[in-house]
Amino acid sequence: MKRIAILNTGGTISMSEDQTTGKVSPSSTNPLSQEGNLFRSLADLTIIDFFHLPSPHVTPQHMLELKNWIEAHQADFDGVVITHGTDTLEETAYFLELTLDLDIPVIITGAMRSSNEMGSDGLANLRSAIVTAVADQSRGKGVMVVMNEEIHTATYVTKTHTTNVATFQTPTFGPNGIVSKNQVLYFQKLLHTEHYELQALTKQVALLKAYSGMTADLFDHIVDSGTYGGLVIEGLGAGNLPPAALPGLHKVLAAGLPVVMVSRAFNGITEDVYDYEGGGKQLRQAGVIFTQGLSGVKARIKLLVLLNSQTPVNIAQAFYLGAK
């Protein structure tokens, strides 16, 4: 029987609903710890309450602690399952994908409904995650998110709905597998993986969403605050900005901060197509790094890892699809 570590970090999957007020909040005891015996027939489980945090409270430092624990204990287990709140689940998943270089599967799951709500999905998702972690074909596939009987790569999965149990989707590419009863079926493979050595987080990255009428003031603050080592922009369309924002952008570039462009659109990739003031062609020529397939929050996590990594890396090349 395979040895699987379950690291509970909190979130809705570990919360309960007050039957009188309807409020959902952390309970004094983690329901998952109480129900863990339901899955003893699937694997030899070691259940650890690692954190007990709503996911908006999770920081990159918490992600680094998870990464360090998994690295230190990888020889003790055949797989790791992490339960996590859904609001920032995709960020933790991608952080671990970029910083872990393991053969054992690392699966992240959560829930959209608390443990005692009607139609609670937590235990079903946890079961699917364990089944995926145990499957031989899950080895070497990196960090994956398992929700609603679908398997998604950590690189491209995102939360698409505030409350629906089918919220986690992979726009543009779709899921790379499904869980059917006790069977795991893969029908896609992530062609490119990358990993970076990371020991500490000292540099921060800002994320700005472009909008009609955007001016330079937010860009100015990023430089003037002295807080940030890089910037990710969710640009308009395929990667464009309003003209009034350009003086601020050029100030950021002149300060030597890397600037990464993604699209604020839900689907598609960025392209430097338009050659007008604020158009993507001119932004790339000015030094903005265009990336393909990543959301704003994922690009921020990647730039954060790159800026703090001990691995020598060309940041611009690292953001191009297929770069090593």
Domain boundaries, the chain: 3-186, 204-319
pLDDT score for 34: 61
Confidence of residue 2 (pLDDT cuts 50, 70, 90): very high
Confidence of residue 113 (pLDDT cuts 50, 70, 90): confident
Residues 6+ apart with CB under 8 A from 293: 155, 156, 172, 173, 269, 321
Confidence of residue 323 (pLDDT cuts 50, 70, 90): very low
Give catalytic status of residue 86 as yes or no. Answer: yes
Q: Is the pLDDT of residue 316 over 80?
A: yes
Are both 3-186 and 204-319 of the same fold? yes
User: How far is it, in rounded angstroms, from Cα 49 to Cα 305?
Assistant: 26
Give the number of other Cβ atoms within 10 Å of residue 320's Cβ.
Answer: 12
Burial 270-308 (b: 16+ CB within 10 A, else e): bebebeeebbbebbbeeebbbbebbbbbbbbbbbbbbbb
User: How far is it, in rounded angstroms, from Cα 140 to Cα 270?
Assistant: 29
76 annotated ligand binder = no
Q: How far is CA 91 from CA 7, 46, 273, 274, 315, in A?
A: 17, 25, 29, 31, 19
- Domain 204-319 = CATH 3.40.50.40: yes
Q: Is the pLDDT of residue 173 over 80?
A: yes
Q: What is the DSSP letter of 240?
A: B
Q: Which of 12, 83, 92, 109 is catalytic?
A: 12
**Helices and strands in the chain, H and E counts:** 9, 16
Q: Is the pLDDT of residue 135 over 50?
A: yes
Give the number of other Cβ atoms within 10 Å of residue 210's Cβ.
Answer: 19
**pLDDT tens digits, 192-236:** 789 999 999 999 999 999 999 999 999 999 999 999 999 999 999
Provide the CB-side half-sphere exposure for 125 (13 A, CA).
34
Mean pLDDT within 146-172:
92
Poorest-pLDDT segment among 19-28, 167-176, 280-289 = 19-28
Query: Which stretches does DSSP call E strand in the chain?
Result: 3-8, 15-17, 24-26, 44-49, 79-83, 106-109, 143-147, 150-153, 158-159, 168-169, 177-180, 183-186, 204-209, 228-235, 259-263, 289-290
Q: Is the pLDDT of residue 289 over 80?
A: yes
Poorest-pLDDT segment among 24-33, 158-167, 235-244 = 24-33
Q: Is the pLDDT of residue 191 over 70?
A: yes
272 annotated ligand binder = no
Q: Is the pLDDT of residue 118 over 50?
A: yes
86 annotated ligand binder = yes
Q: Which of 9, 29, 46, 86 is catalytic?
A: 86
Give catalytic status of residue 270 as yes or no. Answer: no
**pLDDT tens digits, 13-30:** 776 666 556 666 666 556
CATH code matching the domain that covers 3-186, chosen among 3.40.50.720, 3.30.930.10, 3.40.50.1820, 3.40.50.1170: 3.40.50.1170
- Predicted TM-score of the model (pTM): 0.92
User: How far is it, in rounded angstroms, from Cα 261 to Cα 294?
Assistant: 10
